[in-house]
Amino acid sequence: MRPFVSVTLALVLLGGAAHVPASAQGALTKTDGQGPVAVAVTLLAATAGGIRAKVVLDTHSVPLDGIAFDRAVSLRKPDGTDIPPAAVEGASGAGHHRQAVVTFPAIDGATAVEIVVKDVGGVAERLFRWASPLR
């Protein structure tokens, strides 16, 4: 069975606010199954005040306890630089199943939201992208 990691993120939209209803969350889930750890990122909400996301990691072959969400997850700015989360909330789980909610500040001039997950399961970088504005 292939391992699965789920990453959920909430994001900020510039120039307005948006809330993503639960029924639309499935359409906002991005997954990456490279390596022994699968990663899924779900966009939860977006406001002019910042970006918020839930990140869930799940695998059956490698321990995930050493992964620090504040170092592994970042928001990519339009100029290509990455910024770490302003906060990590509700980190839970152990061993092969971990999750947390990460928040980022709003990024002026962004036309898309790009969340990067680095160095998880031997994969250097995984990019999750949503075009804005989200509908």
Averaged pLDDT of the chain: 77
pLDDT score of 1 more than 60: no
Residue-range domains of the chain with CATH: 18-131 (2.60.40)
Amino acid making up residue 59 = T
Helix locations, 19-113, DSSP H: 22-25, 69-72
Q: How far is CA 1 from the centre of its chain?
A: 24
Residue 3 has pLDDT above 90, yes or no: no
- pLDDT tens, residue by residue, 48-99: 778 888 888 999 899 999 999 999 999 999 899 999 999 998 888 888 989 8
63: Cβ contacts below 8 Å, ≥ 6 apart: 95, 96
Q: How confident is the model at residue 124 (pLDDT cuts 50, 70, 90)?
A: very high
Rounded mean pLDDT, 108-133: 87
Tokens representing residue 72 in the block: 């592994």
The token duo for 89 is 């909330």
Backbone φ, ψ for residue 86 (5° rounding) = -70, -30
